[in-house]
Amino acid sequence: MKISIVVGDITRQKTGAIIVGLFEGKKILDSPVVILDKALRSVISRLIKSGQIKGKLDEINIIHSLGELPADRVVVVGMGKKKDFTTDRIRGAFAEVCRQLKKQRVNDITIVADGVGINAITMEDSIQAMTEGTLLGLYSFRKYMSGIEDKPIDIKKMTIVADRKANIPLVENGSRRGRILAEAAILARDMVNEPANYMTPTDMAEVAVRVAREHGLELTVLDEKEMQKLGMGALLGVAQGSCQEPKFIILGYNGRNSDEIDITLVGKGITFDSGGISIKPSSRMEEMKTDMAGGAAIMAAMTAIAQLKLRINVTAMIPAVENLPGGAALKPGDVLKAITGKTIEIITTDAEGRLILADALGYANMLKAKRIIDVATLTGACQVALGSICTGVFGNDQELLDGIIAAGDIAGEPMWQMPMYDEYKEQNKSDIADIKNAAKGGAGAITAAQFLAVFAGNTPWVHLDIAGTSFADKERKYYTKGATGVPVRTLVNLIMAISDRK
């Protein structure tokens, strides 16, 4: 989508639709609604008076201008009560409106730079949110649909009208940031929506090559032999049941002049999780192509970090592996040795995420990461506990935990901290090895996190379980059905906050 920024009078804009927000229960209209109302001979205020327009959250009224304005339509979108106003409401409302306008075959929209100071939301933030909501809400994945007669037209152009020249830099920054974040989330969505036969570990490494080239990132891809040399026995154990070669993808971004790695991102990259020998039920197994959503999210976050030129050093590690029950597959009862030397008894080959992450976390520590954040579609238990609304957050460092929760809040990607009492460690004890990969006794999301904690060691570490949040069963807010791109924007927000503190 082309985004252009102009200074001027909105009543002079020739466009398919001007979109403006309206709070619930407001008697006096603010600009820009008041200006449009005047140009439309008080149609808006009359509709408010008659009760047709209430301003309730996400209520949409499309008013055809019938020649009263150069714009074909004015869309009044309800923002709910002013006291509850958030940037996430802006994102949601814009997504909703743009989807409706797309259905009406509108192909260019105009928005107005406004919303300064309401609940401490700056103009920059509100423009960012409008841009994110529009781009994320209009997303679709139609790559494999052929011969569709009635392809919906996309909204191709968005014009942002600023009232004054002085506001242009703010508007530019907001829309640029919004675009970078939305495009990063969309890259993650595209990777996750891709069928597993087109997103193998090798394909993931190819995406990394493209991303590294486009954004000037350092790239290393370890192959099976190199992983063997490093002693990544847990990861290789998972890989041995598939014909697809595993890849360990490492992307590096250096934003400050130092060898230190300020933060290491680790993402689960199981390109398909059949469960292995502990095979999953066939119902909904196709959804397990999304088991690389953590890896996709961190790869996508790196593209945003590079474009925003943050002054921080970040390394991303993506163990990419397919979990299949081939003839050479890992079996329940087997024992594997991870990169740290710890031995792991396999209880179920379906708890494979923690195995590949064990080696990745161990490797992150070998490279002396100062902080680690891992992102994984790790447990069905987390989905049961928190549904599709909140990501489960676990860790060993409250400062980093608070940072990620705050970053999630800004992104509109809620994060819920789960308990990590020592008592839960008991459930991971093995009779024959140092630890086992699946526990009895409930709290499956926590025992999985406790398993990872062993490999994270003393490094400040946070684990995000996105099993429930990486994929949407239905359209909601600015999510379309399918991959959500969670938690790309949260990760970028967090890294922005950490880099600002330096």
Q: Which is nearer to ligand BES, 15 or 377 (CB)?
A: 377
By C-beta, is 125 or 374 nearer to ligand BES?
374
CB of 441 to Zn ion, least distance (A): 19
* Closest C-alpha among 384, 399, 388, 390 to residue 461: 399
Quote the crossing angle between the two packed helices 201-215 and 168-193, to the nearest 10°: 160
**Minimum CB distance to ligand BES, residue 344 (Å):** 13
Nearer to ligand BES, 87 or 379 (CB): 379
Residues that bind ligand BES (CB under 6 A): 273, 291, 348, 350-353, 377-381, 383, 438, 444, 467
Annotation marks residue 354 as catalytic: yes
CB atoms within 10 A of CB 377: 30
Minimum CB separation of residue 384 from Zn ion in Å reads 15
Residue 273 interacting with Zn ion (CB under 5 A): yes
Compute the distance between CA of residue 144 and CA of residue 449 in angstroms, rounded to an integer. 36
Which residue stretch of 6-14, 154-162, 349-357, 475-483 sits at the interface with Zn ion (rule: CB under 5 A)?
349-357
Residue 297 vs 498, nearer CB to ligand BES: 297
Of 176, 354, 477, 489, which is the active-site residue?
A: 354
- CB nearer to ligand BES: give 181 or 464: 464
Helical residues (DSSP H) of 287-420, grouped into ranges: 293-307, 353-366, 380-386, 398-411
Q: Binding partner of residue 121 among ligand BES, Zn ion, none, CB under 5 to 8 Å per kind?
A: none
Which among 378, 398, 396 has a CA at the least distance from the CA of 386?
378
- Only one residue has tokens 């954040």, namely 373
What is the rounded distance in angstroms from the CA atom of residue 497 to the CA atom of residue 261?
A: 16
Which is nearer to Zn ion, 270 or 361 (by Cβ)? Answer: 270
CA distance 395 to 452: 9
Residue 467 binds which one of Zn ion, ligand BES, none, with CB within 5 to 8 A depending on kind?
A: ligand BES
The residue at minimum Cβ distance from ligand BES is: 380
Position 203 contacts Zn ion (CB under 5 A): no
Could you say whether residue 353 binds Zn ion (CB under 5 A)?
yes
Show the site string, 297-336: x = touches Zn ion by CB under 5 A, - = not. Answer: ----------------------------------------
First CA to last CA distance, the chain? 35
Which one among 59, 108, 190, 350 touches Zn ion, defined by CB under 5 A? 350
Residue 233 backbone phi and psi in degrees, to 5: -70, -30
Token reading at 306: 């590079």
Q: Stretches 27-35, 162-170, 346-354, 356-364: which one binds Zn ion (CB under 5 A)?
A: 346-354
State the nearest-atom distance from the C-beta of 426 to ligand BES, in Å: 16
**Stretches 8-16, 50-58, 111-119, 350-358: which one binds Zn ion (CB under 5 A)?**
350-358
Residue closer to ligand BES by CB (options 85, 272) is 272
The one-letter amino acid at 224:
E
| Alpha-helix runs per DSSP H in 348-464 | 353-366, 380-386, 398-411, 444-456
Partner that binds at residue 348, options Zn ion, ligand BES, none, CB closer than 5 to 8 Å by kind? ligand BES
Number of residues that bind Zn ion (CB under 5 A): 6
Angle at alpha carbon of residue 447, lines to 444 and 451, rounded to 5°: 135
Burial 411-441 (b: 16+ CB within 10 A, else e): bbbbbebbebeeebbebbeeeebbbbbbbee
Interatomic CA distance for residues 335 and 312, integer angstroms: 39
Kindly state the greatest CA–CA separation across the chain. 81
| Burial (0-12, 13-18, 19+ Cβ within 10 Å), 67 | exposed
From candidates 37, 291, 374, 413, binder to Zn ion by CB under 5 A = 291
d(CA 358, CA 456): 8
Residues lying near Zn ion in the complex (CB under 5 A) are found at 270, 273, 291, 350, 352-353
Annotated catalytic sites, by residue? 280, 354
